[in-house]
């Protein structure tokens, strides 16, 4: 049985990683928000039955159809990379590898670390909506609940805190955090979740209440440097400016707070640990050798 290896495509499709990186870069020129979406996509793929591109499959009852995945994006970038690869090396490069490499390239494009990733993943052939909810983190989870899900994937408490650093980029819809504050009947601001900075919460309330529909308004995850992959996320947490309840929760628990403090003060350490944790996530439950298949289109099984 073949296993994952670095430069898996060196002989069969030498330009594969270059093609994927170029596709990510050119897509981000016209739509910078696609980079955060590509990074989020790998979480939602790898945490649900492994990094097998099952999140990409279209159709009723698939992972992609689950409400928990409704706000995912970046699909067109994956498909356009696949289309180019199918011209140069038909039937060779898996969608599962494209997904992981595109997320890796998105981080690099925003100034983050360059992570060497082994390739050779095969594409899964099953995608079931019921598998989504029990496996992904919801924004109201406790630290215990998050640690449980991470450890079920072979990831540690450190991996949890480090991979949460993905929230240094990207944006979120108001309905994922607006239960943390409200307007009282007289229209005055009221803070519900006291782990959130008061003036930051007021800013969020104003941004969110200026629109009719909280599911369409988006707010940057990192209010300071939203278009740079850096350790600002952790510095935000120290001053109670974590956007989600799950972000603020990392400061409430000794096990996670200690790691937040280290990462807030040492970006180099964050980058090193990110490379390790991202790599660990990218190999969760992979199919290799003759398992699975290499899809012709990322949106459908062969």
CATH code that applies to domain 143-279? 1.10.420.10
Q: Which whole number is the average pLDDT over 152-159? A: 98
Question: What pLDDT, on the 0 to 100 scale, is given for residue 263?
Answer: 98
Confidence class for position 211, pLDDT limits 50, 70, 90: low
Q: Which residues are annotated as a binding site for Ca(2+)?
A: 45, 48, 50, 52, 54, 63, 168, 222, 225, 230
Confidence of residue 210 (pLDDT cuts 50, 70, 90): confident
Mean pLDDT of 169-191: 92
Contact 247, 168 (CB under 8 A): no
Residues flagged as binding site: 45, 48, 50, 52, 54, 63, 167-168, 222, 225, 230
Q: Is the pLDDT of residue 250 over 70?
A: yes
- pLDDT at position 2 is 53
- The residues of the chain that CATH labels 1.10.420.10 are 143-279
186-193 mean pLDDT: 92
Query: Residues annotated in the binding site for heme b, as ranges?
Result: 167
Residue 217: the pLDDT is 83
Over residues 258-270, the mean pLDDT reads: 98
1: confidence class by pLDDT, cuts 50, 70, 90 = very low
Q: Where are the CATH 1.10.520.10 domain residues in the chain?
A: 15-137
* CATH architecture observed for domain 15-137: Orthogonal Bundle (1.10)
d(CA 294, CA 291) in angstroms, rounded, equals: 10
Note the pLDDT tens digit of each residue in 112-139. Answer: 999 999 999 999 999 999 999 999 999 9
**Secondary structure of 21-75 in HEC code, one letter for each residue:** HHHHHHHHHHCCCHHHHHHHHHHHHHCCCCCCCHHHCCCCCCHHHCHHHCCCCCH
Active-site hit among 44, 173, 240, 296: 44
Each residue's pLDDT tens digit, 90-118: 999 999 999 999 999 999 999 999 999 99
33-89 pLDDT, tens digit each: 999 999 999 999 999 999 999 999 999 999 999 999 999 999 999 999 999 999 999
Q: Are 106 and 38 in contact (CB under 8 A)?
A: yes
Q: How high is the mean pLDDT of the chain?
A: 95
Report percent pLDDT > 90 for the chain.
Answer: 92
Q: Does 44 qualify as catalytic in the annotation? A: yes
pLDDT at 191: 95
């Amino acid at each position: 049985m073949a296993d994952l290896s670095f430069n898996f495509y060196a002989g069969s499709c030498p330009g594969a990683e270059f093609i994927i990186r170029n596709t990510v870069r050119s897509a981000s020129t016209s739509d910078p928000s696609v980079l955060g979406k590509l990074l989020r996509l790998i979480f939602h793929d790898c945490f649900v039955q492994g990094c097998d591109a099952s999140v990409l499959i279209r159709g009723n009852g698939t992972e992609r159809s689950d409400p928990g995945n409704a706000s995912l994006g970046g699909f067109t970038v994956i498909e356009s990379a696949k289309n180019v690869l199918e011209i140069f090396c038909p039937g060779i490069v898996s969608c599962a590898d494209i997904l992981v490499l595109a997320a890796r390239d998105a981080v690099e494009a925003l100034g983050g670390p360059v992570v060497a990733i082994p390739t050779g993943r095969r594409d899964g052939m099953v995608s079931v909506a019921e598998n989504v909810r029990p496996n992904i983190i919801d924004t109201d989870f406790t630290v215990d609940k998050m640690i449980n899900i991470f450890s079920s994937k072979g990831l540690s408490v450190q991996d949890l805190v480090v991979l949460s650093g993905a929230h240094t980029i990207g944006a979120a819809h108001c309905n994922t955090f607006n239960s943390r504050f409200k307007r009282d009947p007289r229209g005055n601001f009221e803070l519900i979740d006291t782990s959130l900075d008061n003036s930051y919460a007021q800013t969020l309330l104003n941004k969110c209440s200026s629109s009719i529909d909280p599911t369409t308004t988006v707010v940057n995850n990192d209010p300071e440097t939203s278009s740079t992959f850096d350790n600002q996320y952790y510095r935000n947490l120290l001053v109670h400016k974590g956007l989600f309840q799950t972000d603020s929760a990392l400061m409430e628990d000794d096990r996670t707070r200690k790691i937040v403090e280290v990462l807030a003060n040492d970006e180099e350490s964050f980058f090193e640990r990110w490379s390790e944790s991202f790599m660990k996530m990218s190999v969760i439950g992979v199919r290799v050798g003759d398992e699975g298949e290499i899809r012709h289109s990322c949106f459908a099984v062969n």
